[in-house]
Structure 1
């Protein structure tokens, strides 16, 4: 995992908003699936509902905190920790399909019939999969810094083949370490802190996901490939392209946008961590994407 001192330097240098709190949430039991931490911001009366899906090695709070106030001015906003991240569901294995079904379970628990799903990186992969598996339940997609496949170039194929084999080999040991790690977490994350406490809170959120879990998550996500069914997506879609992204190639984000019928394209001049370390550019573009989809619901 990244060095905490380096993260502190990133926070100071990038001018990340030094906030004093985030909206509080609660643990929600999803029938037959497990328990996760959910935040529900009501928004204006009668507003559409947006479910926010975070990226790998992050939490709902850590990916989305810079955008929450702006989104809540227009939408009911629901965010939750995905399985194997933060205080998300613990399960014998990690799968993208399970994550996609979790989205619908959260929607059912919160009384939402057809949410708009906004996903960042891994969250975009999960949102896409939810729309593919449950086309009658997903009212729209906003896909941010999102890939539709990983194993295209030979270097990518080699990396994911080797990494996948490694993750499979250490799988049983990883599960024991993940369970032990989860048992040491406090039941609920902090959502308020004293002046100057933002960095400590951000590091606490970052550290709430086990590195052993990330190995399994990356291996599973590396197998993802939506090429065969992207053209069948029926949900109104906006693609927010992070134009300085070195993790998810820009051309691949553009390819995805052209393969989804009717998708609109919205450009954010940020890198792959732009949801936080480029929030002043990312958040307005996110709002544009959400508005474009909400108009077509």
Structure 2
């Protein structure tokens, strides 16, 4: 089991993001991009299982976890700009981007705009749209009136609603603690950005090898959305995890790591 090292990356304008890292320079660079309200800790089950063939980085995005929390910059395109700046800061020229949930939106933006920086793209339960979904509207109703400190019961319900299979209680408690580090305004402005952005448009122009991974019990992302990815991104592939929910990387970390490693090997040979 590899040891996880935690560092800090200084980006433009003094923005500092913590990031977790496992692996050495001989491994294929992989950047794990977390989703809404999370931090690098959401990928801890994957990081603990990373093979030596991969050199993984998991940054915490602005406003989240222990990252700096500037007053603005919470649109998907802002997070995408930060992602490229992070890669510059830690010296990653080209990497496989692995986006979890809404983290796949900024990963898609980077893949479409900077294909020379992206060796491949893995989308783990990533939505094609949110604004038209009742669950997203219900979440917005709750989030728009959030105040600090953010209610712990609300965060626990949010985290528990993401899974279809049991997840270790201690890990879920860590996720809740990390979610609580995001101020109410970050919950609000990040979700507003996701709802007001044309997420479908972020699929345009992606020419790098792409793998979609989806749990068929996902309460947020539909099978039809996965078909949209296949129809839009040339040469993309889909792996369905039967019985898994939205965060397959919590529920099936061993399999997710295997699929990422196999895909990274494929992307490396295709370069």
- Same structural fold, with TM-score higher than 0.5 when normalized by the shorter chain: yes
Partner residue of 2:232 out of 254, 259, 281: 259
Partner residue of 1:134 out of 85, 105, 114: 114
Aligned to 2:160: none
Structure 1 residue runs without a partner (length 5+): 1-18, 179-195
Give the number of aligned pairs: 250
- Looking at structure 2, the residues matched to 131 and 54 of structure 1 have their Cα atoms a distance apart, in angstroms, of 16
- The higher radius of gyration belongs to 1
Partner residue of 2:29 out of 49, 66, 78: 49
Partner residue of 2:11 out of 4, 13, 30: 30
- The CA RMSD measured in Å over matched residues stands at 3.1
Aligned to 1:68: 47
Aligned to 1:236: 209
Give, in angstroms, the shift of residue 275 of structure 1: 1.6
Aligned to 1:224: 197
TM-score, normalised via structure 2 length: 0.79
Aligned to 2:62: 83
Structure 2 residue runs without a partner (length 5+): 150-168
Give, in angstroms, the shift of residue 252 of structure 1: 0.8
Partner residue of 1:103 out of 83, 86, 96: 83
Closer/same/farther in 2, CA of residues 290 and 111 from structure 1, 3 Å limit: same
- What secondary structure is seen at the aligned counterpart in 1 of 2:77? helix
201-210 or 102-111: bigger deviation:
201-210
8 Å CA contact retained: 2:64, 2:179 = no
Partner residue of 2:221 out of 248, 251, 255: 248
8 Å CA contact retained: 2:27, 2:52 = no
Aligned to 1:114: 94
Aligned to 2:161: none
- Looking at structure 2, the residues matched to 292 and 211 of structure 1 have their Cα atoms a distance apart, in angstroms, of 41
8 Å CA contact retained: 1:141, 1:293 = no
Give, in angstroms, the shift of residue 99 of structure 1: 0.6
Give, in angstroms, the shift of residue 113 of structure 1: 0.7
- Looking at structure 1, the residues matched to 88 and 241 of structure 2 have their Cα atoms a distance apart, in angstroms, of 32
Aligned to 1:276: 250
Post-superposition Cα deviations, 1:43-100, rounded to whole Å, max 9, x if no partner, equal 3x52210010012121111x21111133242211111101111022322221111110
8 Å CA contact retained: 1:268, 1:281 = no
- Looking at structure 2, the residues matched to 198 and 239 of structure 1 have their Cα atoms a distance apart, in angstroms, of 25
- Looking at structure 2, the residues matched to 206 and 97 of structure 1 have their Cα atoms a distance apart, in angstroms, of 21
